[in-house]
Chains A and B, each alone.
Chain A
Amino acid sequence: DTAVSQTPKYLVTQMGNDKSIKCEQNLGHDTMYWYKQDSKKFLKIMFSYNNKELIINETVPNRFSPKSPDKAHLNLHINSLELGDSAVYFCASSQAIGAGGRNEQFFGPGTRLTVL
């Protein structure tokens, strides 16, 4: 059983388009995240979403918006795509913030977005 899944795995699109990446977790976790990994493999947090509370990394452009229809899903919408948005996007999940201890994050397989 896949713990954290993302669709699509690959996404190729033109500049200016709007696209979405879906994420689902079946771990019963309360917190979900989106990370961006650039071409140099650097990973950066974009959002954290816990119990309807959204925490945003201030460096993320407002063209990016997470949407959570329920606790098991956190989708990423990107408007007006730019060349610099090309990257691998990872969804992750963990137990609730404040759970303490290890509370490691489980990552999805990633979505490779290419903007032409």
Chain B
Amino acid sequence: AQKITQTQPGMFVQEKEAVTLDCTYDTSDQSYGLFWYKQPSSGEMIFLIYQGSYDEQNATEGRYSLNFQKARKSANLVISASQLGDSAMYFCAMRETLWAGNMLTFGGGTRLMVKP
């Protein structure tokens, strides 16, 4: 079974509008972390935002926020006021129990395209 599911292979958004990228996860662990990374066409992986499973408030980092719904096991990324430079692949990832080498399990990614 997929541990991280990103159901939107590709999305378009108009510049300056907000967009939500979906991510659902599957784990039986109580303590876990959820991450979003951005991969522009240049190929590097850029950390965007983190949400811990025990964090009571949704994480925010500038124009990025994470809509964390623990009961639904979803951790959607919201990008406000989209910019052309936001066009990239976006990956949701999960880190489960700390003993498992701190490794990340990634979803399949969503390609976001921002239209001028």
Interface residues of A (CB under 8 A from B): 31, 33, 35, 40-45, 48, 50, 55, 57, 88, 90, 92, 94, 97-98, 100-107, 109-110
Contact = CB atoms under 8 A, between A and B. Distances in A.
B102 A48 contact: yes
Contact of B104 (A97, A98, A105): A105
Interface residues of B, number: 25
Interface stretch (B17-25, B66-74, B76-84, B105-113): B105-113
A11 to B, nearest CB: 14
Given A41-B89, A41-B109, A43-B91, A97 B102 contact: yes
Contacts of A94: 102
Given A107-B44, A109-B44, A48 B103 contact: yes
B35 to A, nearest CB: 6
A32 to B, nearest CB: 10
A100 B101 CA distance: 12
Interface of B: 33, 35, 37, 39, 43-47, 50, 52, 89, 91, 93, 98-106, 108-109
Contacts of B102: 31, 33, 48, 50, 94, 97, 103, 105
B50 A104 contact: yes
A90 B99 CA distance: 22
Nearest to B100: A55
